[in-house]
Amino acid sequence: MLETSARLLRLLSLLQAHREWSGAELADRLGVTPRTVRRDVDRLRELGYPVNASPGTGGGYTLGAGAELPPLLLDDDEAVAVAVGLRTAAGQGIEGIGETSVRALAKLEQVLPNRLRRRVGALNAFTVPMLRGPQPAAVDPAVLTELAGLCRDAERLRFEYLDHEGAATRRSVEPHRLVCTERRWYLVAWDLDRDDWRTFRVDRITPKPPHGPRFAPRTRPPRTWPRTSPKASPRARTSRTPQSGCWYPSRRPPSTSRRPPGRFRPTATTPASCAPGPRASR
C-alpha cells in the first residue's frame, strides 16, 4: 500500500486525466478500500482541489475547475511541452508576458529531473526563431483576451483604432479570429461600416465597451476574394491556408536560392493554394 502522501499524488494524477472515476475504480488503482478513497478525496479538497462527486451507481469523482489554481502534476512529455511553450511565449510581443514566462520557466526548470532538463536545454540551445523586422509594439494581454472572448462569443466589438499615421477612428466590427505572426498580433473581422473583411493590428486597438449584440458568424470569404489592390503595400496584404482556414499577413516565404529583386518564385515551402485574404486596415 502506498504511503498517504504518495497515494494522494497518485489520486490527483488519475483525477487530472479529465474523466470520471468510480470509487471502486480508484480503490482498485490505488490498492485501497473505497472508504480510504473517500478520505483521500476529502484531503484533496482541504488542499484546495475541487473534486466533484456524483452519487448513485453511475456516479463517480471528477476534478472540477476551482477559483484558485492548485499545483498540477505533469508527466515527462507534458513538462517538456510546457517548458518549450514558456520559452516561446517570452518572445511573442505580449506586454509583460516575457518576464512572467521567464519566472514560470525558472520555477519549472528548478524541479525538472536531469533527464528532462537536458531535453529542454537542447531545444533552447539549438532552436532559433525566424523573426524579421524591428521589435513590434507590445500587445496588452488584457486586450488580447478580451478580443478572444468576443470572437468566441460572437459579439460585436467597438474600438478606437490608430492608423499608420496615428489618426484615431471609431470602428464597429464582427470579430472572427486572432492571428499571430512574427511577434505581431492581428484581428480578422467583418467591418460593419465598410461592409468588408478587414485585418487590424491589435497593438493599435483600444476597446470601447459596451460590446454586443451577438451576431451570426459569417461564412469565411472564398479563396480568391477579395483581391488586394495593386497599389496596396505588400505588408498590408493577408493570405490564408485553405486547409486550415488560418489567416496570416502575407510575407514572401524564405528561400535558400537567390532571386532577382522584384520577382517571386514559389519554393518548396510555399503553400501552393494560398490566396489573398482580407484587406489590412490602414
Its pTM stands at 0.53
- Looking at residue 133, its pLDDT comes to 61
Instruction: Please report, for residues 69, 82, 99, 104, the alpha-carbon distance to residue 88 in angstroms, rounded to integers and kept in the order given.
Output: 23, 10, 12, 12
Selection from 42-46, 76-80, 142-146 with the highest mean pLDDT: 42-46
The span from the CA of 102 to the CA of 114, in Å, is 19
User: Do the beta carbons of residue 209 and residue 152 sit within 8 Å?
Assistant: no
Instruction: Tell me the domain boundaries of the chain.
Output: 4-63, 76-126, 141-252+271-280
pLDDT tens for 132-176 read 666 667 788 888 889 988 998 999 999 999 988 889 999 999 999
- Looking at residue 110, its pLDDT comes to 74
Q: Which CATH number fits domain 4-63: 2.60.120.10, 3.90.79.10, 1.10.1240.10, 1.10.10.10?
A: 1.10.10.10
DSSP structural state of residue 204: G
Triad 70, 76, 80: Cα angle to 5°: 85
Given a cut of 70, whether residue 109 has pLDDT beyond it is: yes
Would strands 205-207 and 279-280 be described as parallel, antiparallel, or unpaired? unpaired
Cα torsion 109, 112, 118, 119 to 10°: value is -90
Nearest to 185 by CA among 216, 146, 218, 229: 146
pLDDT tens for 187-240 read 999 999 999 999 999 999 999 999 989 999 988 765 544 444 344 444 444 444
